[in-house]
Amino acid sequence: MVVGSASRGCQVAVIGAGPGGYVAAIRLAQLGKDVILVERGPRLGGICLNEGCIPSKAMIHASDLAYDVREGASMGISVSNVSVDLAQMVRWKNGIVTRLTGGIKFLCDKAGVEIVRGEAELIEERRLSVQTADGQLLIDFEQAIVATGSSPMELPGFPWDGTRVIGSREALELDQIPGRMVVIGGGYIGLELGSVYRKLGSEVAVVEFLPRLAPALDPEVGEALTRRLEQLGVELYLGHKAEALEDGEPAQVVISPVDGGESVRVPADVVLVSVGRVPNSSSLGLETVGVDTDDKGFIQVNEKMQTNVPGIYAIGDVVGGALLAHKAYQEAKVAAGVICGESVAFDNVSIPAVIYTDPEIAMTGLTETAARERGHNVVTGTFSFKASGRAMSLDSTEGFVKAIADADSGRILGIVAVGRGVSEFIGEATLALEMGAFLEDVGLTIHPHPTMSEALQEAVEAALGKAIHQVNR
Ligand code: FAD
């Protein structure tokens, strides 16, 4: 119920305080704009800080620790009676969320960003209505940025009930380790969270429609991941479709091969549905002001993050593409820069991506397949972590680094890495791409020894036929 109505003005209104919105608001304030940041949720930070990137990585780390202490026998470490208190693990994770989201509030306050709590809707080209706890607030703006993010997609036949059929949010809040978990969707979120529960002791089955994991990457990546997941005891049903949920204790997930054949019933105490995300664009008043979306509801923008309506920008998950926090950060800086008259655009060479499974998968630039499809005469070099002293010392020799380059010019086109901790050096590989580096540039760069990042230098040297720590092909 609207109990009152007030109005305010500002130069820029930002809707949504996730990685897109809060970064845009802070940057705008740094550049001297009077900014209002509107957030409907109880905390700033969006999906990323509250129920996405950070909480999932905290749970991954904790489950790795629980797993590693049980697996230390070959190094002479045996720990008996290891027990996991999931409720405490979740409390620890929530403590991190509280610290980080509070930190964002502090940074916004320090930058002079005004925060308004409530649900925003565009009601005119230059006016927002915000439903706050105290009533309706009208905000008149000169320019606006829509950064409302995305939500998990529902799967027909598997309606969420928050306990038996859950999404990623609930999977990060369980207080008991499920006996049997079925994960529907073998994308990165499903695989990361499925691995967490497998390492904590659940029986985990993953049902994926496509015939292989990591289908956007070169086949050896999915093969390495599949091998390791099977070694961990994750049951993989690739090329299978989840069709129905049958009641019972446990419930049964009915799945069938995509290319025909007998259906199978997989028992589940908990079903985690992770089949994609949809943009939060439907109740924003976009039609009222004439902002164009595509047929899935993602807002259409150009490389300056401008929508078709002058003065209205959109960034982050709500515009589609790679639904990743660091893409949202960059788009936020571009939109803020454009609003402040800077000559900037989203023209990055690469948006790196990481899957935090065991082993991690990190990639930047083109895959070998994509490079060939674009007509490059391709040369590749691969270095296996089986030959890496650092990987051996970490007892993590699964994986490799592969460098993909144009054979004629020697320019690096892409890097794919599979292995422990590879997320930490994919930024270096991305810098190489952004700077138009050639194989020699990375090959001549001294990498500290012993590190996993040496494998990047070795892979590049292998592409040059100059590998030292493995036999050149
Ligand atoms: P969001 O983070 O979704 O924020 C949008 C905000 O807008 C929300 O706070 C919402 O409450 C608010 N809002 C929506 N509508 C309104 C309205 N009408 N009025 C006011 N406020 C509104 N990305 C990575 O890069 N690395 C990872 O490791 C990673 N892990 C992930 C793990 C999981 C389990 C999930 C679910 C996601 C993960 N992501 C990861 C994706 C990442 O979280 C998103 O890409 C990122 O949060 C998108 O940022 P955003 O600002 O566009 O939107």
Question: Ligand 1 pocket, 25 CB below 6 A?
Answer: no
Round to whole Å and give the CA distance between 22 and 14.
8
Is 114 domain-assigned?
Answer: yes
CA 326 to chain centre: 9
CATH code assigned at 327: 3.50.50.60
Question: Ligand 1 pocket, 149 CB below 6 A?
Answer: yes
Mean pLDDT of the 128-149 span = 97
Question: Ligand 1 pocket, 360 CB below 6 A?
Answer: no
What's residue 457's pLDDT? 98
Task: Mark whether 113 and 260 lie in a shared domain.
Answer: no
| Phi and psi angles of residue 61, each rounded to the nearest 5 degrees, phi first | -60, -45
Question: Ligand 1 pocket, 452 CB below 6 A?
Answer: no
Round to whole Å and give the CA distance between 404 and 432.
12
Angle CA 337–342–348, to nearest 5: 65
Flag the least confident range among 125-134, 167-176, 215-224, 292-301: 215-224
Helix axes 325-339, 19-30, angle to 10 degrees: 30
Round to whole Å and give the CA distance between 125 and 288.
8
Mean pLDDT of the chain: 96
Mutation test residue for ligand 1: of 22, 27, 38, 48, the one with most atoms within 8 Å of CB: 48
Task: Mark whether 267 and 407 lie in a shared domain.
Answer: no
pLDDT band at 210 (very low <50, low <70, confident <90, very high): very high
Task: Mark whether 452 and 429 lie in a shared domain.
Answer: yes
Q: Write out pLDDT tens, residues 426-454.
A: 999 999 999 999 999 999 999 999 999 99
> Is-contact 10 35, C-beta < 8 A?
yes
Active site residues: 449
Q: Write out pLDDT tens, residues 225-237.
A: 999 999 999 999 9
pLDDT higher than threshold 60 for residue 371 = yes
pTM score:
0.97
Task: Mark whether 265 and 414 lie in a shared domain.
Answer: no
Is 348 domain-assigned?
Answer: no
Task: Mark whether 86 and 40 lie in a shared domain.
Answer: yes
Task: Mark whether 329 and 283 lie in a shared domain.
Answer: yes
pLDDT band at 4 (very low <50, low <70, confident <90, very high): low
CATH code assigned at 387: 3.30.390.30
The sign of the CA dihedral 153, 158, 163, 164 is: negative
What's residue 2's pLDDT? 43
Residue nearest to atom 9 of ligand 1 (CA): 46
Residues 6+ apart with CB under 8 A from 407: 376, 377, 378, 379
Is 191 domain-assigned?
Answer: yes
Question: Ligand 1 pocket, 423 CB below 6 A?
Answer: no
For residue 316, report the distance from its CA to the centre of ligand 1, in Å: 8
Is 473 domain-assigned?
Answer: no
Is 344 domain-assigned?
Answer: no
What's residue 473's pLDDT? 75
Q: Please identify, by atom number, the ligand 1 atom nearest to the C-alpha of residue 315.
A: 52
For residue 78, report the distance from its CA to the centre of ligand 1, in Å: 40
For residue 18, report the distance from its CA to the centre of ligand 1, in Å: 5
Domain's final residue, options 304, 339, 374: 339
Task: Mark whether 251 and 296 lie in a shared domain.
Answer: no
Task: Mark whether 41 and 64 lie in a shared domain.
Answer: yes
Residue 204's domain spans which residues? 165-275
Question: Ligand 1 pocket, 23 CB below 6 A?
Answer: no
For residue 168, report the distance from its CA to the centre of ligand 1, in Å: 12
What's residue 1's pLDDT? 38
Domain's final residue, options 245, 275, 305: 275
Is 160 domain-assigned?
Answer: no
Is 25 domain-assigned?
Answer: yes
Residue nearest to atom 22 of ligand 1 (CA): 16
Residue nearest to atom 14 of ligand 1 (CA): 148
pLDDT higher than threshold 60 for residue 276 = yes
What's residue 216's pLDDT? 87
How many domains would you assign to the chain?
Answer: 3
Residue nearest to atom 12 of ligand 1 (CA): 16
Task: Mark whether 115 and 185 lie in a shared domain.
Answer: no
Task: Mark whether 444 and 297 lie in a shared domain.
Answer: no
Question: Ligand 1 pocket, 463 CB below 6 A?
Answer: no
Mean pLDDT of the 376-395 span = 97
| Phi and psi angles of residue 18, each rounded to the nearest 5 degrees, phi first | -85, -165
Domain's final residue, options 234, 259, 275: 275
Round to whole Å and give the CA distance between 183 and 244.
13
Round to whole Å and give the CA distance between 153 and 135.
31
Is 157 domain-assigned?
Answer: no
What's residue 5's pLDDT? 79
Mutation test residue for ligand 1: of 53, 196, 360, the one with most atoms within 8 Å of CB: 53
Task: Mark whether 286 and 425 lie in a shared domain.
Answer: no
Mean pLDDT of the 355-376 span = 97
Round to whole Å and give the CA distance between 202 and 204.
6
Strand ranges (E), 304-399: 312-314, 353-355, 360-365, 378-384
Task: Mark whether 66 and 170 lie in a shared domain.
Answer: no
pLDDT higher than threshold 50 for residue 6 = yes
